[in-house]
Each structure stands twice: as C-alpha cells, then as structure tokens.
C-alpha cells in the first residue's frame, strides 16, 4: 500500500518528502547532540570520571578564597587583639576540618573502588589461580 503511494508521487513530491524526513531526522539528532554536549552533561561526566581532581581543585579554590577573604594580620594599623594570627588559624581549622573529613572519606572510597576493580580484573573466577588473591 505504501509502495503504491510512492509510485503515485511525482519525483518532485518524493524528493520533498525525503527532504522533510531528513529534516526530522536532523532535528532529532541535533537535539540529542545538544543534550549530550550541554555544559551540565559535560561537567557531570567529567566529575564522574575525575572525581578526586574535582574535589582537590574545589578544596584549593576554597582555600584561596578563604585566604583572600580573611586578612593575614600582618598590617600595623590593625588592633592586635582582634586580628590575631592564632584566631585566623583557628577559624581556618574550624572551617576546613569538615571539608578534610569529607575529602578523606571520598578519596578512601574512590581508592577502594579502584583497588577492587583492579583485583577483579587481575583475578577472574575462570582463571587458573581463582582461589588466590
């Protein structure tokens, strides 16, 4: 039935219909490409692939931001009892201790996953030394 309709179409109508089909297909593939290469998708894939680097970079950026936000206390025109260096160090320790704990936990989890995947690749259940690790 569809073939009979194609035979009844003139060559110009067939070309126009093929062109419309190609446009629909192109629009579909363009939307898939836009979703695939959107900044959010690219950053998500990068974070999944390089999680430790992202955490390290965020920690360094946070340290740099904190260093810029709080003065060092080396200026002579400040009051010594308010901008003492020990207070700033205590504030840094207070702010960074949860970040370091989270980073340590994440890095240990990531390392254990890498080690487990390495062991699974090296020791397969079908291999000759399946019982040894």
Which structure tokens are listed for 50? 């390089």
| Residue 18 in this model has a pLDDT that exceeds 90 | yes
Threshold 0.85, pTM exceeds: no
Which structure tokens are listed for 76? 């002579």
Phi, psi (degrees; rounded to nearest 5) at 120: -65, -35
CA angle 13, 17, 22 (to 5 degrees): 145
Which structure tokens are listed for 51? 């999680």
In sequence order, which residues have a C-beta less than 8 Å from that of residue 26 and are 6 or more positions away? none
Phi, psi (degrees; rounded to nearest 5) at 118: -65, -45
Instruction: Convert 83-113 to b/e letters by CB count within 10 Å (16 or more is b).
Output: eeeeebeeeeeeeeeeeeeebeeeeeeeeee
pLDDT tens digits, 26-79? 999 999 888 888 999 999 999 999 999 999 999 999 888 888 777 665 555 555
What per-residue confidence (pLDDT) applies to 14? 93
- The most distant pair of C-alpha atoms in the chain lies apart, rounded to whole Å, by 94
């Amino acid at each position: 039935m569809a073939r009979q309709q194609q035979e009844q179409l003139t060559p110009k109508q067939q070309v126009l219909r093929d062109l419309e089909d190609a446009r629909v297909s192109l629009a579909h593939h363009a939307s898939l490409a836009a979703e695939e290469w959107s900044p959010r998708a690219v950053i998500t894939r990068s974070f999944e692939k390089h999680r430790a680097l992202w955490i390290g970079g965020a920690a360094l950026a946070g340290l740099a931001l904190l260093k810029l936000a709080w003065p060092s206390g080396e200026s002579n025109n400040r009051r010594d009892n308010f901008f003492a260096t020990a207070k700033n160090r205590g504030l840094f320790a207070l702010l960074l201790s949860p970040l370091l704990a989270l980073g340590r936990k994440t890095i240990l989890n990531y390392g254990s996953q890498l080690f487990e995947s390495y062991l699974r690749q090296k020791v397969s259940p079908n291999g000759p030394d399946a019982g040894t690790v």
